[in-house]
């Protein structure tokens, strides 16, 4: 669940507390090209106000009208499908003939939104189970590998940080990268053993400061395929310690700041510390996409852009401007 969806849940809770009737919409299935993935959230207030999105604008107006009229989700959760016919695809402007199924849930005291948000904000991953017949909700700690599941009787959704980012170094660039990563649903750890860089990290929401040595922090963190590691100190004594351990893990992204020449020398050094040629080739360095950025915020954007491309399986050898296979193009057409 990303920070946009957390804001949707916060908005829903605020509307409930003001006495409004609120319906929560969750995308549970998509077929073909769909503008929003399963798990996307939207809330509809009794007066037609909305927050979030389940289709990028294609079906929201129709959902608002059907909820306001009491056709959908008046007393218990219901599901509805858009795009089942060619006429619906034309009417709602669904991209590339796609279809989307949405569960609509009338929220109440038993919806447990306040408890869910409290646990999310404590960096806990939470499994929320909704019984479609009764509307009853159960919350429990999510286990590794769990995700959205819908079988027409029960809707299970996982909430809270699902990605992890370990940043080596607590300098200015790290602050921008950490802040932006939190907005992309990363649980961020900044590893900085140098005391002169510790000031100010305590007040950054969603970010944990570690004072361990970088190799110890990587070993303690045990990076998995949902973890990224980025070394930003420019100090080989710190960066290389983290990289030599991180490159041996299943982390989906390992990167290091520095020029091409510096990173070539870094790879040569790593080979002397039991890092294989194959492992060393996984290093993204210079870190980030070549966007022409010069300032720390611009460089942070380029790093997160490359991390996103790698996580989504984008072929970085191909031109990034070729979006012909992307649902975004279908949505804009």
**What is the spatial distance between Cα 296 and Cα 232, in angstroms, rounded to a whole number?**
11
pLDDT on residue 78: 92
Which residue ranges form the domains of the chain, and what is each CATH number?
3-159 (no CATH), 163-311 (3.40.50.720)
Bridge partners of 51, per DSSP, are 43
Q: At what angle do helices 236-246 and 214-221 cross, to 10 degrees?
A: 20
Tokens matching residue 221: 């963190």
pLDDT tens-place string over residues 156-208? 999 877 789 999 999 999 999 999 998 888 889 999 999 998 988 877 777 99
Mark the ranges of the chain whose per-residue pLDDT is less than 50: 323-333
pLDDT value of residue 330: 38
Q: Angle CA(281)–CA(285)–CA(287) in degrees, nearest 5?
A: 135
Is residue 272 within 8 Å of residue 296, measured between CB atoms? Answer: no
CA-to-CA separations, 157 to 48, 127, 321, in angstroms, rounded: 25, 6, 33
Peptide bond preceding 286 in cis form (omega within 30 of 0)? yes
Burial of 109 (C-beta count, 10 Å sphere; 0-12/13-18/19+): exposed
Coil, strand or helix at 303: helix
Burial 197-234 (b: 16+ CB within 10 A, else e): beeebeeeebbebbeeebbebbeebebeebbbbbbbbe
pTM score above 0.85: no
Average per-residue pLDDT in the chain?
85
Percent of the chain scoring above 70 in pLDDT: 87
pLDDT at residue 37 in the model = 83
Look at residue 332 in the predicted model and tell me its pLDDT. Answer: 35
């Amino acid at each position: 669940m990303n920070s946009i969806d957390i804001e949707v849940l916060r908005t829903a809770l605020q509307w409930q507390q003001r006495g409004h009737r609120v319906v929560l919409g969750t995308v549970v299935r998509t077929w073909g090209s769909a503008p929003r993935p399963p798990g996307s959230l939207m809330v509809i207030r009794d007066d037609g106000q909305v927050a979030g999105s389940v289709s990028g604008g294609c079906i929201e107006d129709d959902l608002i009208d059907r909820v306001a009229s009491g056709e959908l989700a008046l007393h218990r959760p219901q599901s509805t499908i858009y795009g089942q016919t060619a006429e619906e695809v034309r009417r709602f402007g669904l991209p590339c003939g796609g279809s989307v199924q949405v569960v609509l849930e009338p929220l109440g005291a038993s919806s447990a939104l306040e408890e869910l948000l409290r646990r999310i904000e404590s960096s806990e991953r939470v499994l929320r189970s909704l019984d479609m017949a009764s509307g009853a909700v159960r919350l429990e700690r999510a286990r590794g590998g769990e995700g959205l599941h819908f079988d027409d009787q029960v809707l299970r959704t996982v909430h809270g940080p699902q990605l992890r980012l370990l940043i080596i170094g607590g300098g200015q660039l790290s602050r921008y990268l950490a802040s932006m990563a939190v907005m992309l649903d990363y649980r961020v750890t900044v590893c900085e053993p140098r005391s002169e860089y510790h000031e100010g990290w305590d007040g950054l929401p969603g970010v944990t400061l570690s004072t361990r040595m970088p190799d110890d922090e990587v070993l303690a963190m045990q990076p998995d395929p949902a973890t990224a590691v980025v070394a930003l100190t420019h100090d080989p004594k710190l960066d290389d310690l983290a990289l030599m351990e991180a490159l041996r893990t299943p982390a989906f992204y390992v990167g290091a700041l520095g020029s091409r020449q510096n990173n070539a020398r870094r790879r040569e050094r790593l080979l002397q510390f039991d890092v294989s040629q194959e492992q060393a080739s996984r290093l993204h360095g210079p870190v980030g996409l070549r966007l022409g950025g010069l300032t720390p915020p611009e460089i942070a954007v380029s790093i997160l852009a490359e991390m996103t491309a790698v996580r989504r399986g984008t072929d970085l050898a191909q031109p990034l401007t070729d979006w012909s296979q992307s649902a975004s193009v279908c949505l804009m057409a």
